Amino acid sequence: MPWGVPMLAHLSDEDIRRYVAGMSSVETERHVRLCIFCAQRLGDAAQRAARWERRGILGRLVRIDYSQEIDELLAEIEEEQRHAA
């Protein structure tokens, strides 16, 4: 598919799921850049796929990384156990 030629149809739900999972194609990337409808659908799907939380003084919306949250909780527990010992 030559550059600048959009896909003939909007992205399917499967295309959106693959894109959010990080497995997009060049054609999908190009289409999302040109199609506001699919870009909006993709944005909505990506937002639903992640946990978001307001943080900081300004209450900025940030994506929560579960593995980072678990590591922080484990570090807090470990620190509390050291102080208790």
pTM for the whole thing? Answer: 0.54
Average pLDDT, rounded, for the chain: 82
Residue 41: count other Cβ atoms within 10 Å of its Cβ.
Answer: 18
4 phi and psi angles, rounded to 5 deg: 90, -5
pLDDT digits (tens, 9 = 90+) for 22-49: 887 888 888 888 899 999 999 888 888 7
Residue 80's pLDDT is 86
Q: Distance between CA atoms of 79 and 73, rounded to whole angstroms?
A: 10
